[in-house]
Structure formats: structure tokens, C-alpha cells
Chains A and B, each alone.
Chain A
Amino acid sequence: MDVTIAILVTGLTNGALYALATLGLSLVWGSMGMLNMAHGSMLALGGYMVFTVAVSLGLPVWAGFIGAAAAGAVFGGLLYLGVVRPLLKAGGPGFETSVMIATVGIAIGLENALLLVYGGRPLPQPFAVPGSVQLGAGVMPWLNAVIVIVAFVVMAVMGYLIAKTKMGRAIRATAQNRDAALLMGVPVERTYLQVLGLAGALAGICGVLLSSITQLSPTLGADPMLKAFIMCVVAGLGNLPGAVIAAFGLALIEAAVQFALGARWGFPVLLMLVIAILIWRPNGLFGRAQIRRM
């Protein structure tokens, strides 16, 4: 039974982290048809920001969370102004790929900038929760519980912002019909800026949580981002609720496979599953052709 508990703990923790990463990717894809390859490096940015705020500046850890979210948001905004907006203006069917290539470049740039600033050796992460709790035959570290709780709070806030506020309505409207949103008076460029800012803030917080169970390194976001991509694809790009469901589902499967076959087989099995799903449904489990959903 302790294996079941271990799988659940690992699966739910990773699921929460993947869900946050997936949400940011899916939000950006859904609103402007852009695959942000720099998302993983933005996770790393968040992780390092909490280090700077809490260790270098000596402020409390909650301030580190805010600092990470703010840094992510600012970076997202700069990404929009410097790269995405000019590419959107140039327009054309090439946007999808050109923005991918450009953000790959930005990702490498940001990772190396972090490397130059913080150095190559792994740094300790100030956000930590000691202790654990006995669950039947298994053990759950409190850190994992806190990660899941924080992730759910962040997702609830995001869900509220998107579903209930005027800004969220404008974001969804722009995603569903850009021209119509313009005709309603929505400043679409500002909406895009907000979307990348929100996604950046999400990435920042996700980076803090993520680096608390791994370690700080410039490439810490690469592996979760890859899996988040996979989950977005399974859910159908741009589908937010679907992305969260896919994140938890696939994380649990991954954890189960890792316990059954060994850690190195988790991702390959996941990928096989995804390929099978895509051959069956090329637009993802919950996706529909042509229509972007948010």
C-alpha cells in the first residue's frame, strides 16, 4: 500500500506543478496562437528570483513569491513588446513557426543570462517546508502538500480572473474572435500584453514551487516545460480546464510507470501514450479543429 501512497504523492505534486506550467503555455497559445518556447526559462527565472529576494536581500519568503511572479510578468511583457508584437504585425501564416524559433532563441539567451549572473553550481532554495506526515503505510512530506495547495490557490485565482473579471472576458473574447473584440472596443494589444504578463507571473510562481523539490539551475524548467507541452497537446492546445486535467492524469500515470519500471521509463511511456492519443485524435482529447477554446 505504501507504493500507492508514494505514487499518489509524487503524481499529485508533479501534477500540480505541470498544471501550473501547462496553464501558462495554454493561456498564451489560446489567446494568440503562440507557442512560448521560452516558458521553461521563465520558470528558472522565477526560481532564481526567490533566491535573490529571500537570500540576497534577506526579505521573507512570501516576498520572494511576489518577486518571482513580478519578474515573470515583467519578462513576459518584454517578450511581448520586443518579439511577439513585431511578429504579429508582420502577420502572415509564418507567425506560428517564427515565434517559436524566436522564443527558442530568447530561452537560450535567458538561461545563459541566469548562468552568468548566478553561476553554474546548484544553489539552495530558500522556500522549504520541513517535516512530513504518516499516511497509512506511506509518508507525505509537508512540502508536497504545500506545493499542491499553493498550486490550487493560484489556479483558483487564475480561474476567477479568466472567468469572472472584465479583463478575463476581454482575454477570452480576443481569443475567440479578434476582430469582434476590436469592434467591441477591446484594445487587443493591451490584452496580449496582459496575457503574456499573466503567463509570466504563473511561470514565476511555478518556478519557485518547482525549484523547492529540485534545485536551482538555469535549465530547471526544461524538463517540466517539455512535459507541459505534451499535456497541452493531449488536452488540445488552448483548452485551460483540459490542460489541468491532462496534467494531473499524465503525472499520475508517469509516477506509476516510474515506480513500476524505473525512473527512466516514465517519460518514454508517457510519450508513447501521447502519440497514440494524437493518432486517435489529432487535435487532442478535448480539442476541436479550428476552434480555439478558452
Chain B
Amino acid sequence: MAEHKTPALAVDGLSAGYDGPDVLHGISLTVPKGQIVTVVGPNGHGKSTLLRTISGLTRLRQGRILAEGREIQKLRPHQVAAAGIAHVPQGDLLFPEMTVYENLLMGAYTTPVAETVEKRLDFVYGLLPRLKERHGQIASSLSGGERRMVGIGRGLMAGGDVMMIDEPSLGLAPLVIEQIYEVIGQLRAEGRTILLVEENPARVAHLSDVMHLLDDGRIVWSGAPQDLLEREELLSTYLGG
């Protein structure tokens, strides 16, 4: 179990913001290998900013980010991706005029070996058969749920050590949300390492190993998912009930 001591991803004292004051204040958390760590909290309190900062899209002002123990906070976004951190951004950010197949290929941009890409494509098509059916379709013509699946599939194509998924349920119908979380459940069963962001803790409690509650740019509570769901006062204070 020695290798489990180095977490796949660790964030230490991270502060970040856009043009104005800091949005995140001294965030620290670790994502151990093979676990799903979830950050929950109300919208507009820095969950997406956290993922964007790890990816290098938003400038970090203080703190360290470690991938497999290696400092990556100074890397540019494309270098972070190459370092094995796959980011499935909020609102999908697909390439709208490309086909599903091309979108998936873009996910494997940093992978030079064609066979590896083929193998991952087979895996993604196996996990998300709908994408195989639609592989030649232009991304902008897909339904919301299908787009989300392309986003997750594209993230998987990177074959990274860690996958960061930003609110996969956003804007989807309840039935479709269930399908998406089923897919994430399968990934959990596969032993993938995931940093998940979600507004509603009840949706992801059964998937998560550890949960962090983010409020106003600070982590206000951390622990096992079941514990959070039992803490009525936390839920009503931070998540309105």
C-alpha cells in the first residue's frame, strides 16, 4: 500500500481569483488514488474556479498543486493536461462543429500512440454505446445528455491519472442525470480517480469516498458523505435545506 501514500492529486493552501479579490482562500484537499472525492456547495462559491485553477485556466495566487507528488501549479493549461489531469468542464465546452468521433479524438490529443487511442475509443464506446451510434454527428446537434456523455467520454480519452468532472448534472432532466451518475458509478467500480464537483450532496453521496463542503471560497466541512447528509444544520445553513 506504499504507493497510496502519494495522492494522485493534492491541493495545498490554494488561493485564486479573477481580476478582483480572491475567490478561493487557502483550499487544501487530497485525492487519493482510486477514490472519488467530491466538492459540494452552493453555486457561485468557487467550485468551478477550484477546478479551473488546478487546470491552469485561472491564475493561482498562492499555494501548491501536486500531481503524483510533482508540483504543477506553474504549468500552462496544456501542460497540466499532458501531466495526466483530465478536466471535464462545466457546460461541456465541446467543439461544436466537430463530430462526436473528432471530439473524442481531441480528448486523446496528448497520446501519440494510435493503438492506445483505439483501445481507449473502444472502452469509451463500450461504456457509452450512444456515442458509438452518433459518432459521425456534429456535436452541436446532440441533446444535452448526449453532449454531457461526449464531454465525459472526451475526458476518458485522455487516459489521465485523475479526472475532474464539473457538475455533470447541470441543466439535465432528472432521468438523464441518473444515467450520467450511473456512468460515474461504473467508473468508480473500475477504480478510477475522480475529483467531482456537484451542487447537491444527496445525488453523489453513494459515489463519494470523501466529501468537502465549499462555502464562500473556503472548505467549511470535510468528512464521509453519510456524515454530511446526517448533519441537518450544515445542509440547511449552506445548501438551503
Binding site for B on A (CB under 8 A): 166, 169-170, 172-173, 176-177, 179-188, 291, 293-294
Contacts and interface: CB of A to CB of B under 8 A. Distances in A.
B95 A182 contact: no
A237 to B, nearest CB: 15
A173 B98 contact: yes
Interface of B: 55-57, 76-79, 81-82, 86-87, 89, 93-98, 102, 105-107, 109-110, 154, 158
17 contacts: A169-B102, A170-B109, A173-B95, A173-B106, A177-B94, A177-B95, A179-B57, A180-B94, A182-B55, A182-B76, A182-B81, A183-B81, A183-B87, A184-B106, A185-B78, A185-B158, A186-B109
Contacts of B82: 185
Contact of A183 (B77, B96, B98): B77
A188 B78 contact: yes
A183 B89 contact: yes
B89 A180 contact: yes
What are the nearest 7 A-B pairs in CB distance?
A185-B81, A182-B77, A185-B110, A180-B93, A176-B95, A184-B109, A183-B87
A184 B81 contact: yes
B54 to A, nearest CB: 11
B96 A186 contact: no
Given A180-B89, A183-B93, A293-B97, A169 B106 contact: yes
Contacts of B107: 184
B116 to A, nearest CB: 14
Contact of B98 (A172, A179, A185): A172
Contacts of B56: 182
Contacts of B81: 182-185
Contacts of A176: 95-98
Given A169-B105, A170-B109, A183 B97 contact: no
A185 B96 CA distance: 18
Contacts of B154: 184
Contacts of A186: 78, 106, 109
Nearest to B55: A183
Contacts of B109: 166, 169-170, 184-186
Contacts of B95: 172-173, 176-177, 180-181
Nearest to B52: A179
Q: Taking each of B81, B94, B105, B158, which has the highest tally of chain A beta carbons within 10 Å of its own beta carbon?
A: B81
Contacts of A294: 97
A166 B86 CA distance: 19
Contacts of B94: 177, 180
Contacts of A187: 76, 78
A184 B158 contact: yes
Contacts of B93: 177, 179-180, 183
Of residues B87, B109, B110, which shows the largest number of chain A Cβ atoms within 10 Å of its Cβ?
Answer: B109
A177 B96 contact: yes
Contacts of B98: 169, 172-173, 176
A291 B89 CA distance: 19
A183 B81 CA distance: 6
Contacts of A183: 55, 57, 77, 81, 86-87, 89, 93
Given A172-B98, A177-B94, A294-B97, A182 B106 contact: no
A181 B57 contact: no
Given A179-B89, A180-B89, A182-B57, 20 more contacts: A169-B98, A173-B95, A173-B98, A173-B106, A176-B96, A177-B94, A179-B93, A180-B94, A183-B77, A183-B87, A183-B89, A184-B81, A184-B107, A184-B110, A184-B154, A185-B82, A186-B106, A186-B109, A291-B97, A294-B97
Contacts of A172: 95, 97-98
B155 to A, nearest CB: 9
Q: Indicate the member of A183, A188, A291, A293 with the most B CB atoms within 10 Å.
A: A183
A294 B154 CA distance: 20
A182 B78 contact: yes
Contacts of B57: 179, 182-183
A169 B102 CA distance: 8
A250 to B, nearest CB: 25
Contacts of B87: 183
A101 B233 CA distance: 59
Contacts of A173: 95, 98, 106
Contacts of B78: 182, 184-188
Nearest to B112: A166
